[in-house]
Amino acid sequence: MPRRLSVTVEHFPLAKEFRIARGAKTEAVVVTCEIVDEYGRGWGECVPYARYGESVESVVAEIESIRAEIEGGASRDTLGRLLKPGAARNALDCALWDVEAKSTSRSVGAMICGETPRPIETAYTISLGEAGDMAAAARASGRGLLKVKVGTGNDLERIRAVHAAARGARLILDANEGWRAETIRQHMLAAAAAGAVLVEQPLPAGDDAILAEIPHPVPICADESVHATADLQSLVGRYDYVNVKLDKTGGLTEALRLVARARELGFGVMVGCMVGTSLAMAPAVLLAQTAEFADLDGPLLLKHDRRHGLTYAQTLVSPPARKFWG
């Protein structure tokens, strides 16, 4: 049976508006790749991200540009030479992992974890808003690890309000490049006073040299500043952690390399996500088995997830069932 590729654009409404420093959204728009061969179906999902110059149309076009190679039997290693890191490569890479698992009767978890993957704790995201609204959301969440969206000119009141309302939850403050050199010190001190465990991407990528010169009272994590393994060396001395997202690395294959190299360089690891369905989270849950932090709550922000998706119970997310992915 010849290999066949299909590409689909899908829309998943959010349970409520999701806002970060760069804007707001009310739905997750994802691109899904399905590869079918004699062994069965493999599938993968990506989320095109405008911040990285991507659109649904550009991602679909990238995938279609190598249809012949994929249907001709291209491997994951070949894929890495055909497409740059990004969303398009991620959907194809994850679909190829799923196909490989079906053809070998060995789960992706067994291939990359070396042991049975376990449920892991995931952060739950508090959307950017007025301080009182964010505090109310933190109080109602009932979660032990909160990722709090900040990134305005003055987030001091937001940080204090969420800390006071969070009932002892650990806080990750995610500025999405929204702070500036003249405000970062006061925000970092506020983060420390709130007992935050991590501050994520406080300054714009490419404008973060000051991070090597100022104290880190709370560890600082790179997100927009790191995409693939080659980016890591330039971050030494500026960041303490790196946020690994499959839509940035171009899939699980490169993400595994990035994590290994990050460990060699002394970085801590966070595994994150865009706002997507359980199909996007499934490989990331396996990647996150050894990470210090995981932020894989995308499906919790949707009105409806995919059928037979991941199981979320209190603060934990379980690895994917093989009938779903991997």
Answer for the pair 99, 73: CB distance below 8 angstroms, yes or no: no
Tokens of 57: 């149309």
Distance between CA 267 and CA 253 in Å, rounded? 19
Distance between CA 302 and CA 308 in Å, rounded? 15
CB 307: neighbour CB atoms within 10 A?
A: 7
Tokens of 174: 């995610």
Q: Write down the catalytic residue from 102, 147, 245, 248.
A: 245
Q: Is 245 a catalytic residue?
A: yes
Distance between CA 90 and CA 47 in Å, rounded? 9
Q: Is 25 a catalytic residue?
A: no
Residue 65: CB partners within 8 Å, gap ≥ 6?
none
Distance between CA 318 and CA 58 in Å, rounded? 33
Q: Write down the catalytic residue from 102, 147, 149, 248.
A: 149
Residue 50: CB partners within 8 Å, gap ≥ 6?
none
With H, G, I as helix, E, B as strand and everything else as coil, classify residue 15: strand
Residues involved in catalysis: 149, 245
